[in-house]
Amino acid sequence: MSQDVVLSVQNLTVVFHTPDGDVVAVNDVSFDLRRGETLGIVGESGSGKSVTASSILRLNNSNTATTTGSIIVSGVDVLTAQDSEVRRIRGSEVAMIFQDPLSALNPYYTVGKQIAEAYLVHHPRASKADARGVTLDMLKKVGIPSPEKRIDEFPHQFSGGMRQRIVIAIALINNPKVLIADEPTTALDVTVQAQILDLMKDLQSEFNMAIVLITHDLGVIAETALDVLVMYGGRIVEKSTVEALFSEPTHPYSWGLLGAVTSLGTSDRGELVAIAGSPPSLISLPAGCSFNPRCAYALDICSAQVPLLRSVGTQGSVTACHLPNNEILTFGRKAASR
């Protein structure tokens, strides 16, 4: 592991035990995250991206989920560490923000108290006055107007965008090395979305923080990420840089995703092409490549064997597809040019 890898996920597999059977929500996911970088994780609902994110802080319910693999943060494997170790990491080395700011905050306490709480947990010898001072600074930093007044207000007195800023404040108050943002802008409207993304970028450079940004919105990825993981059916199907993804996507699923995106710049008033079919049921995944029922390019082998990740192209992309490299690149470029 190189010096500046702050988070290393190796062979993460999460199996949920339900009354209807076992669900493999995350299947053999591995990635490294370096200091200051942003990794985007893209996929539909049920692709396993959120479960991957929550596994990093060991937030899955151990009664219903079996998590295997390793998640190394600051030399500690989160999955096997003691509870006290994990709690130390949570909120201080690795912080998380969730999708819905309207329900992310405890409605019964003031925002000041909640931010201070996050600080005091990891600075137990700090005084309340200290914590309050730090909280005020943070509120200013995340762009809350009149923070001296608003610090004693309750979450319901803030708009969605403001609340997400407060969530970010809570996450960043202890200068974490890694911020996991699970769909941070999905519940916000477009203008606020942009503000939040900008805020995150500013704070990232200020704190030299790595970000794992989970989203189903390719536009967001384009804006913020350096590298991208595309997940489908619990597995990584493509790993590439953002440029590579948008110029030379290397998986049929990615091609479909790009086809389903419209950008303001394109001239043709082409239709949004949805990917045929629907996401697979995680309980009964298709045999072989889970994408094969919806894949226009499926081969016989696709329904028999799970494709393994392999390099393709010159931009460092990795893909899990049985198609030969040259076809992948051809189709990919075509998809990107649409």
Partner 1 sequence: MFMFIVRRVFFALVLLLAVSFFTYMLFALLPSDPAALTCGKNCKPDVIAANRIRLGYDKSLMEQYWLFLKGIFAGRDYGAGAAAFSCGAPSLGYSFGQHECVTTLIAQTFPVTVYLSIGAFVLWMLIGISTGAVAALHKGKWQDRAASIFTSIGVSLPTFYIGLLVLFSVVIWLGILPFPSYESPFENFPTFLRTMILPWSVLAVLSAASYTRLTRNGMLEAMNEDFVRLGVAKGLTTRIVLRRYVMRQALVPIVTIAGLDFAGLLGGAIITESVFSLPGMGKMSIRAVVESDLPVLVGTTMVAAVFIVVANVIVDIAYGYLDPRVRVK
Task: Work out which of 5, 15, 59, 261 binds partner 1, going by CB under 8 A.
Answer: 59
Stated length of the chain: 338
Q: Which is nearer to partner 1, 61 or 191 (CB)?
A: 61
Task: Work out which of 7, 23, 29, 57 binds partner 1, going by CB under 8 A.
Answer: 57
Q: At which residue do the structure tokens 């996450």 appear?
A: 171
Residues whose CB falls within 8 Å of the CB of residue 300, separated by 6 or more in sequence, listed in order: none
The footprint of partner 1 on residues 83-122 (CB under 8 A) is: 87-92, 95-96, 98-100, 103-109, 117-118, 121-122
Which helix (DSSP H) or strand (DSSP E) does residue 34 occupy? strand 21-34
Which helix (DSSP H) or strand (DSSP E) does residue 209 occupy? none
Task: Work out which of 125, 149, 156, 269 binds partner 1, going by CB under 8 A.
Answer: 156
For the record, the structure tokens of 111 come out as 């925002």
**What is the per-residue burial (b if ≥16 Cβ within 10 Å, else e) of 301-336?**
ebeeebbebeebbeeebbbbbbbeeeebbebbeebb
DSSP string computed for 82-109: -HHHHHHHBTTTEEEE-S-HHHHS-TTS
Q: Which is nearer to partner 1, 152 or 198 (CB)?
A: 152
C-alpha dist (Å) from residue 102 to 84, 97, 167: 29, 12, 10
Task: Work out which of 31, 154, 207, 297 binds partner 1, going by CB under 8 A.
Answer: 154
Q: Which is nearer to partner 1, 31 or 154 (CB)?
A: 154
Q: Which is nearer to partner 1, 108 or 268 (CB)?
A: 108
- Residue 303 near residue 319, CB atoms below 8 Å: no
Does residue 150 interact with partner 1 by CB under 8 A? no
- Residue 15 near residue 25, CB atoms below 8 Å: yes
- Residue 92 Cβ vs partner 1, minimum distance, rounded to whole Å: 6
Q: Which is nearer to partner 1, 107 or 145 (CB)?
A: 107
Q: Which is nearer to partner 1, 211 or 302 (CB)?
A: 211
The footprint of partner 1 on residues 269-328 (CB under 8 A) is: none
Q: Which is nearer to partner 1, 87 or 140 (CB)?
A: 87
From the list 39-47, 51-59, 300-308, 312-320, the region that binds partner 1 by CB under 8 A is 51-59
- Residue 97 Cβ vs partner 1, minimum distance, rounded to whole Å: 8
Going 258 to 262 to 265 to 267, the CA torsion angle's sign is positive
Determine the 3-state secondary structure of 205 from DSSP. helix
Q: At which residue do the structure tokens 């010096």 appear?
A: 3
Binding interface with partner 1 (CB under 8 A)? 54, 57, 59, 63, 87-92, 95-96, 98-100, 103-109, 117-118, 121-122, 154, 156, 167, 170
